[in-house]
């Protein structure tokens, strides 16, 4: 039996949210919250999902009438929790590259109020080559968004009450402000006019947001048993932890919490003026722990986060990154930071979640820059020396990206694994696949797109990365991770 055969047709609700990204995270995060809030009567809205890239199929959504199950498993306040929910708040899922007219119809929607996105850290970018009249659509997400906003401006003749609230969920610093900057770059590039620019400035609000929930997606190995427990097949089954936290920095936007009252449905959704302290705490500790550890751990033979937490050597390396090199650079009260770090390690040790390291490894170049580089720079400024474990994390990244072939792939114990990143990153590593790793490290750190402008000013960090690479080559990844902790 399929999931859609187990449910009666739901209430038709107004589409108030246009969501760029059909992936696991948003479906287990905001879509899950909206579905619960609808049931509790605190919201009355549905979601239209847009596939932001031309690759990938939407057949599973069509086969299941856009319904799927979110399966929560974990330990919360010392209590084991397993819950599941069939989510039905998605009204439609659109491929804008083949359903362009349906996608563009949202420019004229009277009901649309929010735009949510998760296009990965590499998604919010500006490209000088992107064009307004590209067929069928502009290439980048901000380009598509700018064109849609412009069509909306034209359709409603600049009406002040037809602006939208933008809630990007990409894990980059000041994601709302970055998205807004890209939109205004396209307004200038495409010469869309001062009237449109003024309308965007006055009526569209780009909020900085912080999302926090570990979502592990489709549990391939466990899916048959879980579907048997559920009583139906679900090819969109989405697993995650019970913990959920969303910080929305309003960035001067008038209070709209009454329009999105997810907190009234019992969720930890915080509307505030400045999200920065929460973002620094979460991105540097939780995401930083992932990004600093998983590439080395994978090359050391681990496949899942839980395996890292069960291995004393890998766990010790992660703890060194957190407690010795990341946490000393944060400005929040020490007790609060330590409590969050301890909770992070407990969440990573969730026995129900098999969070694949290769999933976390996706787009690691941009993740390292956004999650690790700020801690590295603060450590260098504060202590005047290189953070040894975080330097090792970059060495592990360079080893992980040591690949060849097409599609680009690395090898572990003679077995290939995919290396997935944006084209600029893959091009760098293709060009350097035969170069000595010490040279790769020097060139990588000197590339602003990967490490910013400031890091090359600290040659001690480059030296620490090169020393880590030499250690890895000498004793292997697993032993090197142990030696770094001595």
Contact partners, residue 289, CB within 8 Å, separation at least 6: 318, 321, 322, 326, 344, 345, 348
- The values of phi and psi at residue 460, to 5°, are -65, -30
- Per-residue pLDDT for 461 more than 90? yes
Q: What is the mean pLDDT of the chain?
A: 94
Q: Which residues of 281-304 are buried (b: 16+ CB within 10 A; e: fewer)?
A: bbbbbbbbbbbbbbbbbbbbebeb
d(CA 322, CA 7): 45
Contact partners, residue 92, CB within 8 Å, separation at least 6: 15, 48, 49, 66, 102
pLDDT one-digit tens code per residue, 316-348: 999 999 999 999 999 888 898 998 898 888 889
- Per-residue pLDDT for 161 more than 90? yes
Residue 121 is predicted with a pLDDT of 72
Q: Report residue 26's pLDDT band, with 50, 70 and 90 as the boundaries.
A: very high
CA 181 to chain centre: 19
Residue 10 is predicted with a pLDDT of 66
d(CA 444, CA 77): 43
pLDDT one-digit tens code per residue, 249-280: 988 889 999 999 999 999 999 999 989 888 88
- Per-residue pLDDT for 1 more than 60? yes
- Beta-sheet pairing, 238-240 with 205-206: unpaired
């Amino acid at each position: 039996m399929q999931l859609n055969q187990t449910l009666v047709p739901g209430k038709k609700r107004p589409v108030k949210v246009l969501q760029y990204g059909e992936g696991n995270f948003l479906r287990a995060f905001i879509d899950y919250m909206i579905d619960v809030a609808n049931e509790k009567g605190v919201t009355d809205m549905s979601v239209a999902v847009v596939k932001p890239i031309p690759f990938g199929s939407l057949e599973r959504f069509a086969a299941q009438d856009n319904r799927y199950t979110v399966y929560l498993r974990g330990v919360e306040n010392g209590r084991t929790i397993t819950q599941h929910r069939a989510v039905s708040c998605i009204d439609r899922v659109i491929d804008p590259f083949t359903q362009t007219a349906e996608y563009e119809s949202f420019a004229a929607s009277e009901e649309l109020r929010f735009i949510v996105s998760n296009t990965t850290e590499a998604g919010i970018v500006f490209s000088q080559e992107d064009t307004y009249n590209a067929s069928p659509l502009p290439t980048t997400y901000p380009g598509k968004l700018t064109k849609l906003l412009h069509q909306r401006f034209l359709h409603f003749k600049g009406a002040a009450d037809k602006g939208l609230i933008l809630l990007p969920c990409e894990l980059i610093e000041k994601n709302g402000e970055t998205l807004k900057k890209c939109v205004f770059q396209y307004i200038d590039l495409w010469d869309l006019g001062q009237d449109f620019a003024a309308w965007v400035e006055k009526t569209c609000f780009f909020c900085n947001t912080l999302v926090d929930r570990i979502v592990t997606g489709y549990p391939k190995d466990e899916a048959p048993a879980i579907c048997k427990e559920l009583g139906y097949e679900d090819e969109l089954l989405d697993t995650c932890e019970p913990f959920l936290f969303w910080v929305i920095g309003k960035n001067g936007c008038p209070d709209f919490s009454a329009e999105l009252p997810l907190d009234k449905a019992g969720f930890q959704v915080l509307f505030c003026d400045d999200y920065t302290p929460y973002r620094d705490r979460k991105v540097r500790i939780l995401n930083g722990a992932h990004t600093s550890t998983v590439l080395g751990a994978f090359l050391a033979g681990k496949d899942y986060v839980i395996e890292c937490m069960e291995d004393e050597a890998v766990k010790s390396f992660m703890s060194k990154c957190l407690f010795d090199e990341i946490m000393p650079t944060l400005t929040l009260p020490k007790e609060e930071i330590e409590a969050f770090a301890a909770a992070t390690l407990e969440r990573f040790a969730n026995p129900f979640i098999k969070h694949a390291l290769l999933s976390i490894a996706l787009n690691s170049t941009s993740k390292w820059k956004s999650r690790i580089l700020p801690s590295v720079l603060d450590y260098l400024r504060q202590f005047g020396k290189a953070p040894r474990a975080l330097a090792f994390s970059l060495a592990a990244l360079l080893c992980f990206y040591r690949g060849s072939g097409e599609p680009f792939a690395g090898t572990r114990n003679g077995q290939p694994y995919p290396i997935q990143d944006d084209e600029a990153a893959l091009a760098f590593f293709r060009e350097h696949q035969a170069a000595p790793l010490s040279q790769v490290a020097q060139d990588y750190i000197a590339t602003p797109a990967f490490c910013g402008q400031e890091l090359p000013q600290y040659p001690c960090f480059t030296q620490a990365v090169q020393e880590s690479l030499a250690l890895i080559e000498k004793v292997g990844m697993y032993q090197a991770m142990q030696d770094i902790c001595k």
